[in-house]
Amino acid sequence: MENELVAMNLSKYLLKLLGSILSPGGRHGSLAILIYHRVLPRPDSFLRGIPDADQFNNILGLLAAHFNVLPLGEAIERLQSEDLPPRAVCISFDDGYADNVEIALPILQCHELPATFFVVTGYLDGGVMWNDIVLETMRKAPGSMIDLSPIGFDNYPIKTMQDRYTVAEAVIKKIKYLSPDVRQKTLDKLQKALPVEMNRQLMMSTGQLQKLHKAGMMIGGHTVSHPILSSQDQDAACWEIKEGKRILESLIDHSVDYFAYPNGRPGEDYTYEHVQLVKDCGYKGAVTTAWGAVSEEDDLFQLPRFTPWDRGLSRYMLRLVLNYTRKGAKANDSLA
């Protein structure tokens, strides 16, 4: 056991050294922005890849000990002024789940680490995101077979949780790029065919949103209904971006300066026209889901993000360190 501990500490030291080489700070600095969505109170085999409280606590302990975790706004300012510390990291959450406040916030406060929360306003106070409707329906549907013909699918076996997750993943993939209206009609058909009880406390309340802000966490925009912007016309996309910002600012009585593109893949989920809309709506910058680290050459409105998925802390740290070498993609890069 003692030898294992020594080996683990040595590997972390070497990875920290490698991180300092790949992200030395100053004029050659780079920034890793981590993406999370939820932190669960305990492991859930159905919700694969989502950290539980113990795992998240271990990750934050690692970040606090070996990296320099900064608020997003400060990190961007220091990147621009060539004053970024080595191994710089920001933590971000997308969508606005209640467990961000109930589970993640106390752990962040315990480690004295900041984070940014990009919140979808339309699901505050009892709403359920469309993908969670699909997941909960597949998890709770009775029987060992499921008939999805009302939404254009076939019959599928759901004997195991793996079966159920596979079906949910296929449905989510199919309806993700539908317009919000058509997607909602599809969900209505699904819920009529397979009525199951939804958790109406899954997303934040207004009070929880305000609690995050009062705790010193940054709040960012993430639209009103989480549409794929590229699937909407320009007026609808503009409304989603602008109205989400307006609602958040009215609720926390503070400016909302950064935006996260829903789904966030450059050139697929948003285009450079949407980048322009975000600028026109008064944001200072925006984040994507293109893997990579931020450098001073990056477009402030297309900042890459990344999250290592390894449960082992040494592998997590290695993947995070190596991410400093990755350059994030952009939508219509030649126009940026």
- Separation of alpha carbons 76 and 90, rounded Å: 10
The pLDDT assigned to 301 comes to 97
The pLDDT assigned to 174 comes to 86
User: Which domains are seen in the chain, by residue range?
Assistant: 2-126+201-335 (3.20.20.370), 130-193 (no CATH)
What does 183-218 look like in DSSP terms, one character per residue?
Answer: HHHHHHHHHHHS-----TTSBPPHHHHHHHHHTT-E
CB contact burial 228-257 (16+ within 10 A = b; e otherwise): bbbbbeeebbbebbbbbbbbbbebbeeebb
- Separation of alpha carbons 329 and 302, rounded Å: 8
- Separation of alpha carbons 232 and 244, rounded Å: 16
Which two three-digit tokens encode residue 2? 């003692």
64 to 82, 89, 113: CA distances (angstroms): 22, 10, 7
- Separation of alpha carbons 306 and 161, rounded Å: 28
Q: Is the Cβ–Cβ distance between 93 and 260 less than 8 Å?
A: no
Say which residues have a Cβ less than 8 Å from residue 29's Cβ, sequence separation at least 6.
23, 78, 79, 82, 84, 85, 86, 88, 295, 296
- Strand 116-119 relative to strand 145-147: parallel, antiparallel, unpaired? unpaired
The pLDDT assigned to 57 comes to 96
Angular region, 141: left φ>0, alpha ψ -120 to 50, beta rest: beta
- Separation of alpha carbons 218 and 202, rounded Å: 21
The identity of residue 293, as a single letter, is A
Q: What angle do CA 238, 307, 237 make, to 5 degrees?
A: 5
| Phi, psi angles (nearest 5°) of residue 183 | -60, -45
41 to 38, 46, 78, 132: CA distances (angstroms): 10, 14, 35, 17
The pTM assigned to this predicted structure is 0.93
The pLDDT assigned to 32 comes to 96
pLDDT in tens, the chain (336 residues): 544 554 455 566 577 777 678 778 788 889 999 999 999 999 998 887 899 999 999 999 999 999 999 999 999 999 999 999 999 999 999 999 999 999 999 999 999 999 999 999 999 999 999 999 999 999 999 989 988 888 888 888 999 999 999 999 999 988 888 888 888 899 999 999 889 999 899 999 999 999 999 999 999 999 999 999 999 999 999 999 999 999 999 999 999 999 999 999 999 999 999 999 999 999 999 999 999 999 988 999 999 999 877 778 888 888 888 889 888 888 875 443
| Phi, psi angles (nearest 5°) of residue 45 | -65, -20
